[in-house]
């Protein structure tokens, strides 16, 4: 009856969840309403969406306990637009989940801070798009939003909450990248500052006009900003092609405000609605043909990626490629662009340490 707890165990458990289709991690979009109006937002503003009621959300949370979900993230829209957020979150807390709140923080009042302090979620993730009010407020299109977000971050850090600041790098804010890292450190938060804009969920490429150009990437991105991710992926999957398949629809999913289940927050392929079917039916007993297709995808189904010479440098997200092209097995224009950049900086600078065994030439031998 031994207890096992080595680090590798996490991966073993995750692999088991993938094999058994246990949704250990779920993103619950509680609302699409938002008090900000970010220029790059990928959510489609739909005022007619019929949001799940408090009781419906609680019922879904109860189902997730039975399904084996550990990690539950509340996201939006802006989650604090829902008056019943704490009622929902306390219900989830009592049912035993590791809770994450994703928010812009502008609606967090001192009373809410106190409630959060009592609840002690695992973490809070704040969206912050600049190191200055001028940049952030320009992107959110709401004057004063920077000040309110930073204030909320300060208050939660003071309460001992684990806070991450998430920043998508765009041509609007990339010049402040280093200042944003410094600001996160000053606030006592973890920075997660990355490029990676996605098209809007309805397929509109409008947000991509803010994406970094190749020249901006070379000028402003540190060469090793995604080294950890790239090393992890290649360590995990020695066969490059295996890296292009993810856990979406197997061990994770996203639930939208009207109860529609998607394989991932970045993959708007509806696989069922929780107002019509139970989670167990959608996920296990009556999976849709779309979900079955996704689960059965292998690297061999990919049309061009496994044999591409950029593959060793590629971090391809199946959801983003679907949004970009509608073809989940095709190449992702944005992933190709970033892979080209990685290859370029590693080839031209050659001073980036890497642990990607077998994929790079040793520095001493040159190319």
Angle at 97 (CA atoms; ends 265, 319), nearest 5 degrees: 15
Q: With respect to other proteins, which residue has the nearer C-beta, 8 or 365?
A: 8
Binding other proteins (rule: CB under 8 A), the pick from 162, 179, 181, 216 is 162
To other proteins, the closest distance from the beta carbon of 118 in angstroms equals: 14
DSSP label of 51: P
Closest CA to 140 of 168, 108, 180, 163: 168
Does 15 contact other proteins by CB under 8 A? no
Q: With respect to other proteins, which residue has the nearer C-beta, 119 or 218?
A: 119
Does 253 contact other proteins by CB under 8 A? no
Q: Which stretch binds other proteins (CB under 8 A): 10-18, 204-212, 309-317, 352-360?
A: 10-18
Closest CA to 52 of 68, 63, 42: 63
- Secondary structure of 280-317 as H, E, C letters: HHHHHHCCCHHHHHHHHCCHHHCCCHHHCCCHHHCCCC
Does 196 contact other proteins by CB under 8 A? no
Q: Is the peptide bond before 77 cis (omega within 30 degrees of 0)?
A: yes
Quick check: helix, strand or coil at residue 150?
helix
x-marked contacts with other proteins along 21-40 as a string, rule CB under 8 A: -x-x----------------
Measured CA to CA, the distance from residue 326 to residue 305 in angstroms comes to 16
Does 184 contact other proteins by CB under 8 A? no
To other proteins, the closest distance from the beta carbon of 14 in angstroms equals: 10
Give the pair of three-digit tokens for residue 152: 């909320």
Binding other proteins (rule: CB under 8 A), the pick from 118, 120, 141, 280 is 120
Binding other proteins (rule: CB under 8 A), the pick from 59, 62, 70, 205 is 70
To other proteins, the closest distance from the beta carbon of 166 in angstroms equals: 17
Does 68 contact other proteins by CB under 8 A? yes
DSSP label of 52: P
Q: With respect to other proteins, which residue has the nearer C-beta, 96 or 357?
A: 96
Closest CA to 310 of 339, 330, 338, 332: 339
Q: Residue 33's CB: how many other CB atoms inside 10 A?
A: 18
Does 84 contact other proteins by CB under 8 A? no
Give the pair of three-digit tokens for residue 111: 């009373």
To other proteins, the closest distance from the beta carbon of 73 in angstroms equals: 12
To other proteins, the closest distance from the beta carbon of 155 in angstroms equals: 20
Does 330 contact other proteins by CB under 8 A? no
Burial 291-313 (b: 16+ CB within 10 A, else e): beebeebebeebeebbebebbbb
* Chain residues that interact with other proteins, rule: CB under 8 A: 1-5, 9-10, 12-13, 16-17, 20, 22, 24, 65, 68-71, 96-98, 120, 122, 162
């Amino acid at each position: 009856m031994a207890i096992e707890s080595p680090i590798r165990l996490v991966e073993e458990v995750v692999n088991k969840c993938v094999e058994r289709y246990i949704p250990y991690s779920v993103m619950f979009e509680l609302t699409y309403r938002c008090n900000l109006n970010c220029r790059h937002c990928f959510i489609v503003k739909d005022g007619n969406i019929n949001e799940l009621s408090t009781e419906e959300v609680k019922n879904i949370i109860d189902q997730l306990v039975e399904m084996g979900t550990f990690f539950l993230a509340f996201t939006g829209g802006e989650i604090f637009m829902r008056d019943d957020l704490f009622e929902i979150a306390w219900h989830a807390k009592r049912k035993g989940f590791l809770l994450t709140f994703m928010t812009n923080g502008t609606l967090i009042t001192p009373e809410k801070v106190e409630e959060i302090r009592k609840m002690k979620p695992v973490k809070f993730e704040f969206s912050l798009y600049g190191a200055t009010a001028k940049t952030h407020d320009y992107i959110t299109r709401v004057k004063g939003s920077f000040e309110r977000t930073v204030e909320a971050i300060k208050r939660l850090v003071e309460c001992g909450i684990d806070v991450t600041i998430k920043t998508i790098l765009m041509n609007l804010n990339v010049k402040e990248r280093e200042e944003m890292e410094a600001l996160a450190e000053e606030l006592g938060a973890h920075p997660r500052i990355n490029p990676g804009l996605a098209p809007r969920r309805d397929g509109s490429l409008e947000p991509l006009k803010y994406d970094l150009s190749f020249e901006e990437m070379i000028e402003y991105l540190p060469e090793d900003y995604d080294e950890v991710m790239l090393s992890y992926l290649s360590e995990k999957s020695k066969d490059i092609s295996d890296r292009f398949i993810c856990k979406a629809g197997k061990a994770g999913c996203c639930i939208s405000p009207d109860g529609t289940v998607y394989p991932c927050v970045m993959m708007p392929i509806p696989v069922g609605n929780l107002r019509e079917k139970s989670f167990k039916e959608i996920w296990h007993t009556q999976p849709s043909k779309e979900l079955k297709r996704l689960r059965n995808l292998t690297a061999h189904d990919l049309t061009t990626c496994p044999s591409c010479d950029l593959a060793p440098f590629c971090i391809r997200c199946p959801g983003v490629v679907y949004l970009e092209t509608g073809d989940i097995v095709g190449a992702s224009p944005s992933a190709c662009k970033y892979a080209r950049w990685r290859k370029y900086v590693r080839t031209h600078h050659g001073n980036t340490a890497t642990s990607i065994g077998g994929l790079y030439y040793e520095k001493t031998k040159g190319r």
